[in-house]
Amino acid sequence: MIYPSIDQLINKVDSKYTLVIAAAKRARMLNEDAPRLVETKSTKDVSVALEEIATDKISYERLATNLK
């Protein structure tokens, strides 16, 4: 089973696209040796990033709206 579940994660952001972007940016930070914000057994940066989002350790701010 995947942890955290997509149902839990989608409640933390406004869209699946935002979730992917936030997780990818955080995973890149972890790959560059940023400290982990959660204790986890996972060794993969994307999994750690998703767990951080699920536990509200990572947030996002939308900078632009109504782009055309």
Kindly indicate the confidence band of residue 24, based on its pLDDT and cuts at 50, 70 and 90: very high
pLDDT for 12 beyond 80: yes
pLDDT for 54 beyond 90: yes
Which of 1, 19, 2 has its CA nearest to residue 10? 19
Q: What is the pLDDT of residue 64?
A: 73
Which of 1, 13, 25 has its CA nearest to residue 54? 13
Q: What mean pLDDT comes out for the span 4-11?
A: 90
CB 60 within 8 A of CB 13: yes
Which tokens belong to 55?
């536990």
Kindly indicate the confidence band of residue 68, based on its pLDDT and cuts at 50, 70 and 90: low
Percent of the chain at pLDDT > 70 equals 93
> pTM for this one?
0.85
Cα dihedral 36→28→9→63 (10° resolution): 110
Domain ranges, ordered by start, for the chain? 6-54
